């Protein structure tokens, strides 16, 4: 086995000690709030709107919004670079992550995709919530 120079060993030991101190500091730090973690209130609001629309849709139609059961996306897919099925999957997966607590907010592109998805599948006999801005529904492409 090759001997390590004394100054190199000292650096290794100092690095190990610093890592141990960092690990200890991380373990005792309280969980940060969503604001401290950088999750903007708008992202949380949009996530809440997505969940509200999903719950209202499911209550009204009896269709659980899962990959297997969610209706097909019917509006134009101009504002984002995905196919209709990919846009639908993006929305359904985001709703699943929000429900499970894996995330507490959504990025703007996901929120816009979700709002357009819900506008495209929203039942005619169900009122859109007044506190959630509804995107203009476009004819199927």
Q: Is the pLDDT confidence value at 31 over 60?
A: no
* Pick from 36-45, 57-66, 126-135: least confident: 36-45
Q: Which of 95, 134, 137 has its CA nearest to residue 120?
A: 137
How confident is the prediction for the chain on average, in pLDDT? 79
**Comparing 76 with 113, which gets the higher pLDDT?**
113
**Separation between Cα atoms, residue 136 and residue 133, nearest integer Å:** 9
Is the pLDDT at 141 greater than 50, yes or no?
Answer: no
Mean pLDDT of 42-59: 87
Q: Which residues contact 122 (CB under 8 A, 6 or more apart)?
A: 57, 128, 137
| Banded pLDDT at 11 (limits 50, 70, 90) | very high
d(C-alpha 69, C-alpha 75), whole Å = 18
Higher-confidence residue of 133 and 103: namely 133
Q: Which are the contacts of 67, defined by CB distance < 8 A and separation ≥ 6?
A: 89, 92, 93
pLDDT: which is higher, 40 or 97: 97
Segment 94-121 mean pLDDT: 83
Cβ contact 98:50 at 8 Å: yes
Residue 68 has pLDDT above 50, yes or no: yes
Angle at 46 between CA 30 and CA 105, to 5 degrees: 30
DSSP state of 58: H
pLDDT > 90: what percent of the chain? 11
Give the domain ranges of the chain: 41-121
CB atoms within 10 A of CB 119: 17
CA quadruple 106, 110, 113, 118: dihedral sign: negative
């Amino acid at each position: 086995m090759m001997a390590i120079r004394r100054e190199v060993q000292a650096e290794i030991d100092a690095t190990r000690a610093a890592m141990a101190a960092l690990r200890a500091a991380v373990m005792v730090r309280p969980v940060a709030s969503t604001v401290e973690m950088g999750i903007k209130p708008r992202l949380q609001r949009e996530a809440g709107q997505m969940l509200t629309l999903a719950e209202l849709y499911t209550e009204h139609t009896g269709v659980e919004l899962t990959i297997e059961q969610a209706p097909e996306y019917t509006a134009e897919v101009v504002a984002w670079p995905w196919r209709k099925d990919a846009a639908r999957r993006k929305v359904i997966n985001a709703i699943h992550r929000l429900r499970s607590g894996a995330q507490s907010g959504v990025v703007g592109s996901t929120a816009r995709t979700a709002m357009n998805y819900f506008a495209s599948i929203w039942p005619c006999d169900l009122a859109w919530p007044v506190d959630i801005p509804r995107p203009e529904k476009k004819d199927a492409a």
